Amino acid sequence: MMKHFTITKRQEEHIAILEINGELDAHTAFQLEQQFKTLIETEAYHIIVNCSNLEYIASAGLGVFMAYIEDIRNLGGDIKLSNMTDGVYHVFDLLGFPSLYDIHRDESEALNSFKTQK
Amino acid sequence: MKASTSHSINVSSSTEHLREVRNFVQNFVQQFDVNKNDLDEIILAVDEAYTNIIKHAYNNDPNQTVKIELGTSTDTLWVQLSDTGFHFNADEYQPPDLLKRIKNKQRGGMGVYLIHKLMDSVEYSSAGKTNTILMRKRI
């Protein structure tokens, strides 16, 4: 069966960048959850999630961001989001995420915001 | 009022069928002159309703069935999902306090709120062993 959600991980200095691709729903959300767990285990608390190839998100996907943001911020890091399509941003917006999450137009802006925080 | 059914499927209650359910909805709705935003919102509402049935009505038992019917009447598109699992009273939902949920590391309960935001009307009913959610959106 073809995978309809994949994650590619990159590193830029101390910042972990996750490119999430495809459809993030109740079936695929565990994959993102696993990535956040692994990042926390390896003490990588500065995380950018690049959503440029995220085609779809349901509330189960949003739930993963909700479950880990507090821990990661308490550990001195953050989960920043970037490159959302209008359709994906609309779902985040309906649930009030923009006031509580650091959402950037593109990845370099998200990177800069980490670097200026240091 | 619900016009005669135009399109329906019975699908097993497993998240592995989510994509198939979304495609089914998309194929039906695309026949009409619906803008992209409305199409996306209808697909997401059905995804959330189907996911809630899997989790709450059927407690993740993949051997159960969900019936999904779609139709139109005048300027309205309607979708009905039926199950024979536990009845859950989703009428009594509260708009989620996102900050509080993040602090408490809660992640559920957003689906019902989303459904109400995405659709123009949402009705729940139970008759015998069957629970239904009927959602409508003007298109």
Domain containing B54 equals 7-138
CATH number at residue B12: 3.30.565.10
Note whether B22 contacts A: Cβ–Cβ < 8 A.
yes
d(CA A79, CA A49): 7
Per DSSP bridges, beta strands A15-24 and A5-12 are: antiparallel
Strand residues in chain B grouped as ranges (E): 7-12, 65-73, 76-83, 121-127, 130-138
Supply the pLDDT for residue B74: 86
For residue B2, is it within any domain? no
Give the side-chain half-sphere CA count within 13 A for A9. Answer: 13
Distance CA A92, CA A7 (A): 19
Count how many domains chain B has.
1
Taking a C-beta distance cutoff of 8 angstroms, is the pair B122, B133 a contact? Answer: yes
- From the list A36, A97, A51, the residue with the least C-alpha distance to B114 is A97
Residue B103 vs residue A82, higher pLDDT: A82
Instruction: Give the range among A1-15, B12-26, B38-52, B65-79 with minimum mean pLDDT.
Output: A1-15
Q: What is the pLDDT of residue A1?
A: 46
Distance from CA of B77 to the nearest CA of A (A): 20
Between the two ends of chain B, the Cα-to-Cα distance in Å is 16
* Contact (CB<8Å) B110/A62: yes
Q: Residue B52: closest CA among chain A residues belongs to which residue?
A: A26
Asked if residue B97 is part of any domain, the answer here is: yes
Spatial distance between the Cα atoms of B45 and B81, rounded to a whole number of angstroms: 11
Q: What is residue B79's predicted lDDT score, i.e. its pLDDT?
A: 97
For the entire predicted model, the pTM comes to: 0.94
**Mean of the pLDDT values across residues A37-42?**
97
CA B47 to chain A, closest CA, distance in angstroms equals: 7
Listed by number, the residues of chain B in 112-131 with a beta carbon closer than 8 Å to a beta carbon of chain A are 113-114, 117-118
pLDDT tens-digit readout, B5-42: 579 999 999 999 999 999 999 999 999 989 999 999 99
Instruction: Round to whole Å and give the CA distance between B57 and B75.
Output: 31
The CATH number of A7-117 is: 3.30.750.24
What is the token pair recorded at B64?
């159960």
- Structure-block tokens of residue B132: 């239904």
Residues of B in contact with A90 (CB under 8 A): 37, 40
Q: Alpha-carbon torsion B54, B56, B57, B61, what sign?
A: positive
The complex's ipTM works out to: 0.93
